[in-house]
Structures are given as structure tokens and as C-alpha cells.
Structure 1
Amino acid sequence: MKHLPLFFDLARRKVAVVGDGPKADLRANLARSAGAAVLRLHGPVTAQELRGAVAVFVATEDEATDAAAHHQAKAAGVPVNVADRPALCDFIMPAIVDRDGVVVAISTGGASPTLATVLRGRIEAMLPERLGSLVRLATTFRAQVNALIADPAGRRAFLRRLIEGPVARLALAGDEAGARRLALGELDAVRRKMTPTGIAHIVGAGPGDPDLLTLKAAQLLQEADAILHDDLVPPAVLARARRDAEIVSVGKRKGRPSWAQADIDAELVRRVRSGQTVVRLKAGDPFIFGRGGEEVDALRAAGLPWTVVPGITAALGCAASAGIPLTHRRHASAVTFVTGHGAQEGKPPAWAALAAEGHTLAIYMGASEASAVRDRLLAAGTAPSTPVAIVESGTRPEQRVSTGRLGDLPRLAAAHSGAGTAGPSLIIVGDVAAYAAASTIPALAKVS
């Protein structure tokens, strides 16, 4: 290791910055963000001016002036960093990730600042934005944990659960008050030797391509004790789960034996009460025809903690993968997501409004109700020649797209459902559906 990484407390301490321009401004701003008293020097400097500083940054961008300032800093006995001149540096500036009190420094020893910057970007993408809230939680409860749990191993286990478990997830979701309440409950459970409460995460799995999982969804799949998943969640997404997680299919498919929604709600409540971290994994987005709202109601009624992680819903993923813009300046100024089941049962959609010109319809679960969908739209005034597209298994390697006209919709849908191994299908109705036929984007490059 060429350089030893150290973190200095600069609060109210003198830091000198020599130079003008963006590089000098950046160093001055960084020092101020750490609480330093920054002295800006814009011309030739003397050792006397630099004495008493804990560090000197030089960024004049002139070789002779940089060298002179370096000489004066050495004469004053102050460590110095000269921008872009490693030979004149007593210390170097790492690439920094700052998450509200959590700081990560990345250095290549000056060999490749570009590589350090690339690594910083990757680490920033991995770290939750509200990571600082975990620091505040740990600070708040550390003394209580130390007083309550005498065994060092037990303390470490509890503090690790605090920053990795249900409490942490509430804090990272922005519910710091809820996180504090749950932490107090977990401390009380330790005091009474009870099993602490778990947490449920209602998570969108996206349209099928595992690379379209959100970062938060991927993180939770690695943290879950149990994953209760829909039948439409493909194996490639489930493969991203922690190896020892319990994976339970609670899927509901038309015409097949399946879990009732009340049973799924009860299973979620049971597992969270037993202390598990549970991911309820739903195809697409949990709040768009995913019945996630009913599961949240059940958890809320039981007084249990929960979070919701949105996913890329089928309409967005399938349309993009098929090259269909759901809105388009010349063709569609509105888009509506509607379930095809409403064509025959339940509260029916307002078909007259949906049939308006310049309106795109994304119809979920509509293949088996294609005739009813066509008839309702035709009766509401939609032209039989209106373009339609059926996207089956959108974003997946087996994706299949059929295009045609509204009048032919039942025939197109029958071609998909008659395949025997048909995947989930989405129907898109409107002028924009014609773009599917014109798309020449290679399948593997359509969504990224």
C-alpha cells in the first residue's frame, strides 16, 4: 500500500487553498464541507501565510507558481497537495463518496484518477441514498444496546440486525420515525427474550428481464429470508435471490389451482410476526394490477412494518422492448392502463373515454378476453382499422410480437393462446401500435 488512508477532523481548523479556477474551488468546497476554516490565497504565497494550517492545497495550473507554493508550504512545515503534480504531493486526493456521514474514499495512488472516478460511480450506485440515517440510528441506540446486552457477540449480532434488517429498511425508505419505533420494539423483545418482528417488502420484479430489476429490488432479494412470488415471475429473476432464501410460489393463474389472496395476506402476516424479512415479489409493479395495496392493508391492520419497491410495469417494459412509444407527439397524447378482465366481470372500464382518438390503451390480462375487448371498443366508436399489437413474454428471450387491426384482435390473440406454452401477453391499442411492425431494433438491444 503506497498511501495510508486517514480521515482527519478538520472542524474549525485552518486549511489553505492556493489558486483560482475550478480545481481550486473544488478543493476549497471539499474542505468547507468537512468544517474547515478555509483560507483562499490567489497570488504568490509566503511560508508565514501558510503556518498554522493543517493542510495546503495548491491548484494554480501554472507549473512555476505551483512549485513556488509547494516550496513555501514545505518551509512552513505543512503537508501539501498540488493538483495534477504527484511528485509535489505529500498526500493525494481520493475520489470520494459522501452519504450524509458515511464516507468512502477510493485511490489508485495517483496512477489513474480516471479509474478511481469510475469506481466511485459504481460504489455510488450500490449505496442507498439515505445511508446517513443508519448512522443516526446506530448513534441513538448504541448506548442502550451496550447497557442491555452484556455478551459482546450478542451485541454485535443485534447491531448488525439493526443496520441490515427491518429497522434499516424502514430508515432507508425514509421512515426514520417508524425505524426508531421498531428499534425500540426490538430492544424490548430482547429485554423480554421474545422474537423480534420482521418486515415485508412488496417488490416489483419488472416485466421479466432480470437486468431490469431496480437496484433496491436486487438488494432485497439478497437480504430476504423468504420470497413469496407470483407465477409470472420468471426463474431468471428468482435466480438473483440469496441462495439460502426460502422461495415460495403463491401464484394465481386463471383456470389453475392457486392461492387465494386472503391466504397470501395471512402468510405474509405470519412470517413477519415470526421475525422473517419477507419479499413479496410481483411481476411488473406491485401497485399496477398487482394487488399490492391489499397486502399493504393486511400488514397495516396487523401493525407490522412494510415497504414498497416499485418495478418497471409490463406496459412500459413490453412497449419499449417492442419499439412502441406509448405516447407520441403526432399520434397519442394520453395512455391508460386497463385490465382486460374488466371487459367481462367486475367494475367495467369507461370504454367511451378509452376509445378517444389520440389515446393509447395498454391492456393487461386481455388475451383471453380479446373478443370482449374488441366489441366494447368498437361499440364505443373506435375504428376497426385501429392498429393493435400483442407483446407476449415482453423483454424476455422468448418475446413474440404480433401486429394487426382492432377488428382482427380475437384472431391475433388466439394465435398466441393456442401455442400451448404462451407467456404473459399485453395488448396495445392505438396508432402507436403500428411502430411495432416498423421496429428493426435487435431483440437484445431493445431495452437497456
Structure 2
Amino acid sequence: MRHLPLLFDLAGRKVAIVGEGAKADLRANLARSAGADVRRLKAGSVTARDFQGAVAVFVATDDEAADAAVHRVAKAAGVPVNVADRPALCDFIMPAIVDRDGVVVAISTGGASPTLATVLRGRIEAALPERLGVLAGLAATFRAQVNALITDPARRRAFLRRLVEGPAARLALAGDEAGARRVALGELDAARRRLTPYGIAHIVGAGPGDPDLLTLKAAQLLQEADAILHDDLVPPAVLARARRDAEIVSVGKRKGRPSWAQADIDAELVRRVRAGQTVVRLKAGDPFVFGRGGEEVDALRAAGLPWTVVPGITAALGCAASAGIPLTHRRHASAVTFVSGHGAKDGKQPAWALLAVEGHTLAIYMGASEASALRDRLLAAGAAPSTPVAIVENGTRPGQRVSTGRLGDLARLAASHAKGVAAGPSLIIVGDVAAYAALSENPPLAKVS
């Protein structure tokens, strides 16, 4: 290791910046962000006196001779110097920086490849939660209390690790700082009494099926979970992103199949969190769009247990995009409504007359088996039989299949998407924009001359 990484406190200390332009501005802004007293200087008039009292000099003139001249002056003044893009003239180098409100990661290649350092910074930024600084603040708040209360070093380390990885951490990262403090205080009390602390439940959207459409937070939680309770519609490719030793439990509900009752799922969540587990309740699409996630949050809240919600790409967004259908379009649709197809025959009905109008897109969930009743209700509400429709089965997945036609033919189109238990999940899109599904094939990437 040629360069030793150090984090230097610059608050209130003099830093000289020699040069003008983007590179000099970047270094000045970085130094100011660390609280430095920044002095901007022009290369042609620099003397050793200008560097008196400085703790660092940054040079960025974009002129080789000027850079070398300023470097000699800084060295004569005994001040460490960094010259932009000239590693041979640097006492220290500028790393690529990831800053999460005081949690700082520096990446360096020793000047060999700033581009590689930038690429690595992007990957690290994608992996680190945005509110990481809040988590560091939580740990700082409780550090003295933990040190005073837990005298055994091994138990203390275990507690502090749980504090930055467990339920309190997840609440802090989700923006619930008050909830994080309450959980941390409860865990500290449990440690004092040598009790098992509660776990936490994460109500997570798995998206429409393509594992690459998982959110970053969802992917992180799948790697942290002790147990994953998943819907039947969550595909194996998404479950494969889970931690290797996580317990995978199917609690799915599918029409015409034996399944878990919602009350049993609620009770299982409560039982596992009380036992100290980190539980991911993994739902296809988004947990708060026809996912009954709100009921599970109600059960956890009533039990006084911690929880977070991680949204997912709901089926209407994912399926429409993968089929090339814009749910809204300046010329065709200024509104879109998500509707459940369950109960289309006898259940509680939406206001079909308000939905069956031009310039309005309907995204109908779980409606393939009720297509005939849906067609009849829309036609009775005034929709034109010629209204374009599309049915997207297994949207975003390798087996995606799209059928297009007119509202008057919806039952016939849906028949091939609702055959027995082998049929995949289907979404029905009604409205002028549905016609775009027939135009969705991309042109070739290269022109053959």
C-alpha cells in the first residue's frame, strides 16, 4: 500500500487552492464541505507567505509549468501539496468520495486510474443507504449508555452490532428516527434484563416478477432476513436473491388452491417478530396495491411490534412498460385507475360510469377469470365495444404473453389466459393506449447497409 488513507479534520483550518476552472472549484468545494477556511490564489503571484499556516495546498492550473512552479513554492513552505492530474507532484492524492452525512468512504487507485475509482464509487453509492448518517448518529447517541450498562465485551459488541444492523437500524434508515430510538431503548432494557429482544417485519414489494426490478432496499433486506414469507406469485428467480440460510415459507393465496388465511399470515408475522426474527413479508408487485399489506401493518401495530414498508413496482407499471403500453399519453389518456377484477360479478363495484369514459386507462388486476362480467359492466356503463384492450400474462417474466383486441371480445381473449392452475398472473389494460401493445417491437439496433 503506497498511500495510507487518513481522514483529516479540516474544520477552521486554512487550505489554499491555486488555479481557476472546474478542477480548482471542485477541490475548493470539497474543502469547504469539510469546514476548511479556503483561500483561492492565482498561480502567477503565489509566494511562500501565501501558504503560511496552511495545512494543505491544492493546485489545478491546467498548465504544466505553472503547476510545477507552485509545487516548488508549496514544498519550500513545508505544506503538503496535491497537483491535479500530476501524481508525481502529489504528497497526497484525492480519492473518490462517498459521503452519507458524516459516514465517509474514500476510494483510491493510487492515481493509477481515476476512472476506475469513479466506477467503484458509483457501485458503493448504490449499495449504501442514503440515511446512513442517521444510523451513525443513533449509534453515537446510545454508545455511552451501552458501555455503562453492558460490561461484558462480547455482549457489548453483539449489542452494538445489532444496533447498527437490526430493527432499530432499519427504522432509522426508513426515516422513523423516533421509532428507532424507542426500539433501541427497548433492546437496551432487554439486554439489562437478559431478555430476547423483538425482531422486525419488513413488508416488501417484490415487483412484477423480473428480479432485476427489485428495489435496492428490497434486495438488501432479502440478504438480511431470517425468514421470508412470500406470496405464491413471487417467482423463484426473486426468491433466489435471498440469503442462503434464510427460511423460505410460502403463504400464498391463489384462486382454487389450498392457501393461508390472512388472519393466519398476520399471526405468523407477529409470532416470528416476537421471537426476535427479522422477517420479510414478500409480496408480488407493491404491498399496498391490492396486496393487503395494510392489514398486516395493522396486526403488527396492534401487537406493538416494529415494521417498515418497502414499495415495489406494481403490476400495472411493470406489465404496461414491458408490453410497450404508456398508461397515460398526451393524445390518448390523461388519467389511469387501478381496479380489482375480483368481485366483478357480485362483489362491491367501483363507479363504472366514471371509469368507462374516453381518455381514461383502466388497469384491471386479477380479472382474467372475470373477463365476461367486466366486459358487460363496462359496456353497460357506456364504454364502446371497439375500445382497445390488452391482456399481459407473466408481465416482465421470461414467459410473458400479450393479447390485444377490442373490449367486445374481452371474454374470448381472456379465455386463453385463465386456463386452470397453470395460468400465470394476468393484467387487463382497457383504453386507447392498449393499442400500443401491438406496436411495441423494437427496431434493430444497427442498420444493415
TM-score by length of 2: 0.97
**Whole-Å Cα distance in 2 between the matches of residues 96 and 207 of structure 1?**
35
**RMSD value, Cα:** 1.1
TM superposition shift of 1:302: 1.1
String of CA shifts for 1:173-225, please: whole Å, max 9, x gaps.
01111101100000000111111011110000000000000000000000001
Match of 2:434 in 1: 433
Listed as ranges, the matches of 1:103-142 within 5 Å are 103-142=104-143
Alpha carbons of structure 1 residues 345 and 270: separation in structure 2 relative to 1, 3 Å: farther
**Whole-Å Cα distance in 1 between the matches of residues 409 and 420 of structure 2?**
18
**Whole-Å Cα distance in 2 between the matches of residues 193 and 345 of structure 1?**
55
Match of 2:89 in 1: 88
Q: Do 1:95 and 1:117's aligned partners in 2 also have CA atoms closer than 8 Å?
A: yes
Match of 1:19 in 2: 19
Q: Do 1:390 and 1:401's aligned partners in 2 also have CA atoms closer than 8 Å?
A: yes
Match of 1:36 in 2: 36
Match of 2:367 in 1: 366
**Whole-Å Cα distance in 1 between the matches of residues 420 and 143 of structure 2?**
60
Match of 2:334 in 1: 333
**Whole-Å Cα distance in 1 between the matches of residues 88 and 240 of structure 2?**
49
Match of 1:400 in 2: 401
**Whole-Å Cα distance in 1 between the matches of residues 442 and 20 of structure 2?**
49
**Whole-Å Cα distance in 2 between the matches of residues 220 and 371 of structure 1?**
41
**Which residue identity lines up with residue 180 of structure 2 in the other structure?**
A
**Whole-Å Cα distance in 1 between the matches of residues 12 and 278 of structure 2?**
44
**Whole-Å Cα distance in 1 between the matches of residues 348 and 30 of structure 2?**
58
Match of 1:304 in 2: 305
- Identity fraction in percent: 87
Higher mean Cα deviation, 30-39 or 395-404? 30-39
Listed as ranges, the matches of 1:164-313 within 5 Å are 164-313=165-314
- Three-state SS of the structure 1 residue aligned to 2:416 is helix
Match of 1:344 in 2: 345
Alpha carbons of structure 1 residues 169 and 225: separation in structure 2 relative to 1, 3 Å: same
Match of 1:388 in 2: 389
TM superposition shift of 1:419: 6.5
**Whole-Å Cα distance in 1 between the matches of residues 420 and 227 of structure 2?**
34
TM-score by length of 1: 0.97
**Which residue identity lines up with residue 2 of structure 1 in the other structure?**
R
**Which residue identity lines up with residue 71 of structure 2 in the other structure?**
H
**Whole-Å Cα distance in 2 between the matches of residues 410 and 438 of structure 1?**
23
Match of 1:46 in 2: 47
**Which residue identity lines up with residue 389 of structure 2 in the other structure?**
V
Match of 2:447 in 1: none
- Three-state SS of the structure 1 residue aligned to 2:38 is strand
Higher mean Cα deviation, 260-269 or 199-208? 260-269
**Whole-Å Cα distance in 2 between the matches of residues 272 and 316 of structure 1?**
32
TM superposition shift of 1:420: 5.3
Could you list the runs of 5+ residues in structure 1 that have no partner in the other structure?
A: 443-448
**Whole-Å Cα distance in 2 between the matches of residues 10 and 294 of structure 1?**
51
**Which residue identity lines up with residue 380 of structure 2 in the other structure?**
A
**Whole-Å Cα distance in 2 between the matches of residues 71 and 82 of structure 1?**
11
**Whole-Å Cα distance in 2 between the matches of residues 29 and 404 of structure 1?**
58
String of CA shifts for 1:57-86, please: whole Å, max 9, x gaps.
011222222111111000001110011111
May I ask how many residue pairs the two structures share in their alignment? Answer: 442
Q: Do 1:323 and 1:441's aligned partners in 2 also have CA atoms closer than 8 Å?
A: no
Match of 1:322 in 2: 323
TM superposition shift of 1:42: 2.1
**Whole-Å Cα distance in 2 between the matches of residues 217 and 29 of structure 1?**
34
Q: Do 1:360 and 1:429's aligned partners in 2 also have CA atoms closer than 8 Å?
A: yes
Alpha carbons of structure 1 residues 325 and 232: separation in structure 2 relative to 1, 3 Å: same
- Three-state SS of the structure 2 residue aligned to 1:146 is helix
**Whole-Å Cα distance in 1 between the matches of residues 50 and 322 of structure 2?**
63
- Three-state SS of the structure 2 residue aligned to 1:123 is helix
- Three-state SS of the structure 2 residue aligned to 1:12 is coil
**Which residue identity lines up with residue 382 of structure 2 in the other structure?**
G
Could you list the runs of 5+ residues in structure 2 that have no partner in the other structure?
A: 444-449
**Whole-Å Cα distance in 1 between the matches of residues 9 and 211 of structure 2?**
43
Please tell me whether residue 149 in structure 1 is matched to residue 138 in structure 2: no
String of CA shifts for 1:281-315, please: whole Å, max 9, x gaps.
00000000000011111111111111100000000
**Whole-Å Cα distance in 2 between the matches of residues 435 and 314 of structure 1?**
17
**Whole-Å Cα distance in 2 between the matches of residues 368 and 125 of structure 1?**
41
**Whole-Å Cα distance in 1 between the matches of residues 373 and 294 of structure 2?**
27
Q: Do 1:343 and 1:349's aligned partners in 2 also have CA atoms closer than 8 Å?
A: no
**Whole-Å Cα distance in 2 between the matches of residues 334 and 30 of structure 1?**
45
Q: Do 1:342 and 1:349's aligned partners in 2 also have CA atoms closer than 8 Å?
A: no
Higher mean Cα deviation, 309-318 or 43-52? 43-52
TM superposition shift of 1:357: 0.4
Match of 1:446 in 2: none
Match of 2:6 in 1: 6
**Which residue identity lines up with residue 196 of structure 1 in the other structure?**
P
**Whole-Å Cα distance in 2 between the matches of residues 13 and 297 of structure 1?**
53
- Three-state SS of the structure 2 residue aligned to 1:417 is coil
**Which residue identity lines up with residue 4 of structure 1 in the other structure?**
L
Q: Do 1:335 and 1:360's aligned partners in 2 also have CA atoms closer than 8 Å?
A: yes
**Whole-Å Cα distance in 1 between the matches of residues 340 and 409 of structure 2?**
19
